[in-house]
Structure 1
């Protein structure tokens, strides 16, 4: 993923004073030109619901949204869903009551988010999704801006094949309620299946457990994995917090280095773990670019220009050689 350092977390006070956009995509996008601005129009306000404020990835995205919005004389209202679909639904309803000009979502649940998006649709407020897409067949999203998660999952699969020499037993720390993770897992499994079709070696995916995309939950899930499959050779974790939780569980059980971990994100802590040999590789994604592109797309829509239904941003594989050359990391 990105080779530049990530920003620090958005301070709580900053979040309280700022307006945040969180995006969610849909396969059923509402394409077309946006409303032409009228003369003397008041400053536009964007309502943002991020998936969480505890993951640096989403804080980086939020900071980029704030900066790009300010550059375009727009206001931003930032909220965090804290992985709670009901809380996110309330946030969208609040945005509707505030009559914001646009809404950005990172859906906490890619299926149930459709109800909230439909409410915004009825209110005539355009919805844009960032990083995570909506899977609703009826809710309309103007544009979805995200990492190319399917291709990123394939890079993760290739890294695992390389790490294991094409054979072994693998577990997946999953989070199947979010569309972005579904795509990562799909891409990973495609590469594993392609490897197995070549023979004679074979990588067997022996278990998938939900880690919730969080370090603590993934720590516990990894302990469960090792209890059920003591001979596990590799773990694919769908983001860096999950990968770091897996590393902590492996260290506790004295299996660090014996089980290859492939993560996803390229956050500073994840990159440092790659440098230290605790994580094998990460497909790196670029949250700041997602945030900027989302606001730029809103600006185009509001100017009456055509906007693409989907914008995908490629990932880059990041391994130990990249980490050793990365001057942003510690020298330990």
Structure 2
């Protein structure tokens, strides 16, 4: 089997908000067998997508398929080029974590017209045969419920947002839904990171300067939350502020175990399982068994300092 990683270049500064998968039927001839798989990730520098890569390798090995992995580095145009390459290579299945779930639709339709099964993971992509993702609203609700409870049900909160893909939007919406049940919790700041630690540090530092009395921070993923942790420590506010995130990443687990850290909880995702499930569903489709529901949600579980020892991780 062959495993290749291709790295795209550049960055799309303004990402369009993802929509739901297109409901218009697209003519598609299914492959006879899943022999070639193309995995497209948003940014391999994020450990979340490295875990996807490992899940794809396991799934491909189990069924004896070749795997080609491409890294878009958050560039929508790169994902267009990658899909074109997959079509030329004659892959049977594309598993995509889309940079822009709406913007990628024409390329997905082109792939499906070429007889390729396309399954989105982590976030919806218009036109895909199915999407497999964490219940992102649930993840945001679980993380923020724990945060607000640990704050004693009162105080000022910052939200470290991210790029406007559907899963991130859903996590923030989940957090705000919970906040409505805590009348003494006030969200006083919300800024978007680039989903990584460095930008999480930057935007949190800015918000803390404007809101010095904050006592809680929700980061929409673990990298941004850990950037917020660093901002809290640099501001000398570790005794004042607590932080939660979403992912259940190896870095998040390590931070939960670090003595004195303000990071107290993370709502889990399972990126490897998403890809493995995508391959399983594609095999079912080849066998003539389309999924009953084109959206498959994976439950999010809260991991805290008290429960991290039992969490198996990615």
Q: TM-score range by the shorter chain?
A: 0.7 to 0.9
Mark the CA change 1:14 to 1:124 in structure 2 (over 3 Å): closer, same or farther. Answer: closer
2:197 to 195, 215, 220: 215
Which position in structure 2 is the counterpart of 1:280?
A: 264
Give the whole-Å Cα distance in 2 for the aligned partners of 1:178 and 1:253.
Answer: 30
Mark the CA change 1:53 to 1:233 in structure 2 (over 3 Å): closer, same or farther. Answer: same
Which position in structure 1 is the counterpart of 2:70?
A: 79
Give the whole-Å Cα distance in 2 for the aligned partners of 1:145 and 1:16.
Answer: 22
1:162 to 127, 149, 166: 149
1:254 to 215, 229, 236: 236
Give the whole-Å Cα distance in 1 for the aligned partners of 2:191 and 2:122.
Answer: 22
Deviation at 1:112, TM superposition (A): 1.7
Which position in structure 2 is the counterpart of 1:121?
A: 112
Give the TM-score, by structure 2 length. 0.87
Deviation at 1:27, TM superposition (A): 3.2
Instruction: Please say if 1:56 is aligned against 2:47.
Output: yes
Q: Is the contact made by 2:70 and 2:82 (CA closer than 8 Å) also made in structure 1?
A: yes
Mark the CA change 1:25 to 1:54 in structure 2 (over 3 Å): closer, same or farther. Answer: farther
Deviation at 1:116, TM superposition (A): 2.2
1:65 to 52, 56, 70: 56
Give the whole-Å Cα distance in 1 for the aligned partners of 2:71 and 2:239.
Answer: 36
Which position in structure 2 is the counterpart of 1:6?
A: none
Please give the secondary structure, in 1, of the residue aligned with 2:199.
helix
Deviation at 1:151, TM superposition (A): 0.9
Q: Is the contact made by 1:29 and 1:309 (CA closer than 8 Å) also made in structure 2?
A: no
Structure having greater relative contact order (Cα 8 Å, sep ≥ 6): 1
CA RMSD in angstroms, aligned pairs only? 2.5
Summarize deviations over 1:248-284 as a string: whole Å, max 9, x none: 1111121123211111111122112122343111111
Instruction: Please say if 1:232 is aligned against 2:214.
Output: yes
2:165 to 165, 178, 199: 178
Summarize deviations over 1:90-126 as a string: whole Å, max 9, x none: 1112112222212111011233222322332333322
Unaligned runs of 5+ in 1: 1-12, 18-23, 197-201
Mark the CA change 1:327 to 1:284 in structure 2 (over 3 Å): closer, same or farther. Answer: closer
Q: How does 1:6-155 map to 2 (within 5 A)?
A: 15-16=4-5, 26-28=20-22, 44-134=35-125, 139-155=126-142
Equivalenced residues, count:
298
Give the TM-score, by structure 1 length. 0.82
Mark the CA change 1:58 to 1:30 in structure 2 (over 3 Å): closer, same or farther. Answer: farther
Mark the CA change 1:28 to 1:327 in structure 2 (over 3 Å): closer, same or farther. Answer: closer
Unaligned runs of 5+ in 2: 7-17
Q: Is the contact made by 1:31 and 1:142 (CA closer than 8 Å) also made in structure 2?
A: no
Deviates more, 1:116-125 or 1:249-258: 116-125
Deviates more, 1:258-267 or 1:107-116: 107-116
Which position in structure 1 is the counterpart of 2:9?
A: none
Instruction: Please say if 1:301 is aligned against 2:292.
Output: no
